[in-house]
Amino acid sequence: MFYLIKSNTKYISEKVIAQVIASKKIEEENTYIFDYDEKNDFENAFLEYLSINFDSQPKAIIIKNANFLNLVKPNKEHVLKFENTVKLNSPNIILFVVDKINKTGKLIKKYKNEFEILEKDAPENRELISFVNKYFSSRDISLENGGAKKIVDMVGKDFDLIFTELNKLDILSVDNKVSNKLIENTVLDFSRERPFYLASKVLTLDIPGINYMIEQYRIQGEPFFLVSERLALEFARVLRYKILCDMKGSKVSDNELYEMTQWNIWGIKNYYNWSMYWNSTKEMSDFFYDVILNKGFFNLLESNYEDPFKLLEKLLVNNILKLKSKRKKA
């Protein structure tokens, strides 16, 4: 049986996987984890699925990052292997894990009736605060008034990060209580990474997001140098990531990139998605050197402008509009 598990967060996808495996009464020693992004894992996963235990006990084959299912034109050899497997009867199960479902993907579109699709995304906004409160109440831990909001404000909306910080507080709680002071002294404050967010908006060509972030920097009194420096740094890293993918001929996994660079794992998890907003490495490279580095960094820093944020905003928006216009004409 085939399962398609979709979630935008690792924690929830793992919970759903655990529930499926428990419902099928599959033992831990008969659970095998593969990653589509890792070399040979795709082939090895199907070989494991096709093999039967001597005692006939079923196996669970988990394939993480199974985004080949979403591709309109997937690898032909992978399609053939998948289609041959669909035709077989086996006591084993395969759980394909994805962070999105593309209904126009060749294999999903053709074989949607072969999958049991389980979709569950992380809570957002007010639901996050409610989740934090429920997390502690389920453990009989008292959270000081305003503590849940403080945690969400510090960590942001990344559910996996929030869950990591909640586990930390759970361990460090004193007399089944979590005080605001403990939160301030323990939880990683990602709000300090505010300059990082402009880079994410520029990399995704999000003009309204750029307008909003720059206005926030003005309100919060963020130093212009810090913002422009972080924008150049993050854009350069994603450009380097795209070049690495070109050299490899395929996606570079987060773990591979981390091992090569030791960059913050929290930051690089978005690099693949951001790089896909750019039609080519050359397009991205031209934008980086001309707009981000030369005009947005060196030029604005070397000149004594009264409102450099206003000029940076205009520079970014105008050049993104030019880029989009050029694409339409091509």
What are 139-155's pLDDT values in tens digits?
A: 999 999 999 998 988 88
Domain residues of the chain, as ranges? 2-119, 126-188, 193-329
CATH of 193-329, one of 3.20.20.70, 2.40.10.10, 2.70.98.60, 1.20.272.10: 1.20.272.10
The arithmetic mean of pLDDT across residues 291-320, rounded, is 86
Query: What is the pLDDT averaged over residues 294-313?
Result: 83
Residue with tokens 């395929």: 250
The CATH class, in words, for 2-119 is alpha beta
Pair 58, 51: CB distance under 8 Å: no
Task: Judge contact between 235 and 265, C-beta under 8 A.
Answer: no
CA distances from 101 to 27, 34, 68, 108 (A): 29, 19, 11, 8
Q: What is the CATH number of domain 126-188?
A: 1.10.8.60
Confidence of residue 238 (pLDDT cuts 50, 70, 90): very high
Count of beta carbons in the 10 Å neighbourhood of residue 163: 19
Task: Give the residue among 69, 68, 48, 70 at the shortest CA–CA distance from 59.
Answer: 48
Pairing status of strand 115-119 against strand 2-6: parallel
Q: What is the DSSP string of 188-200?
A: --GGGGHHHHHHH
**Alpha helix (H) ranges present in 99-249?**
106-111, 126-137, 147-155, 159-172, 180-186, 194-203, 207-220, 224-248
Q: How far is CA 254 from the centre of its chain?
A: 10
With residue 16 as reference, give the H or E element that holds it.
helix 10-23
pLDDT at 265: 63
Identity (one letter) of the amino acid at 184?
E
Backbone angles phi, psi at 192, to 5 degrees: -70, -15
> Of the ranges 111-125, 165-179, 251-265, which one carries the lowest mean pLDDT score?
251-265
Q: Which residues contact 312 (CB under 8 A, 6 or more apart)?
A: 214, 224, 227, 228, 296, 300
Q: What is the pLDDT of residues 81-93, one digit of tens each?
A: 888 888 788 889 9
Side chain identity at residue 182, one-letter code: L
Residue 211 to residue 227: CA distance in whole angstroms? 14
Q: Within a 10 A sphere around the Cβ of 14, how many other Cβ atoms?
A: 16
| pLDDT reported for residue 194 | 64
Does residue 58 surpass a pLDDT of 90? yes
Q: How far apart are CA 31 and CA 118, in angstroms?
A: 19
pLDDT at 153 (0 to 100):
81
Residue 326's Cβ-count burial label (10 Å; 0-12, 13-18, 19+) is: exposed
* Position 135 pLDDT exceeds 80: yes
In this prediction, what percent of the chain has a pLDDT beyond 90? 42
DSSP state of 113: G
> For position 236, what pLDDT does the model report?
93
Per-residue pLDDT tens over the stretch 16-25: 999 999 999 9
Percent of the chain with pLDDT over 70: 95
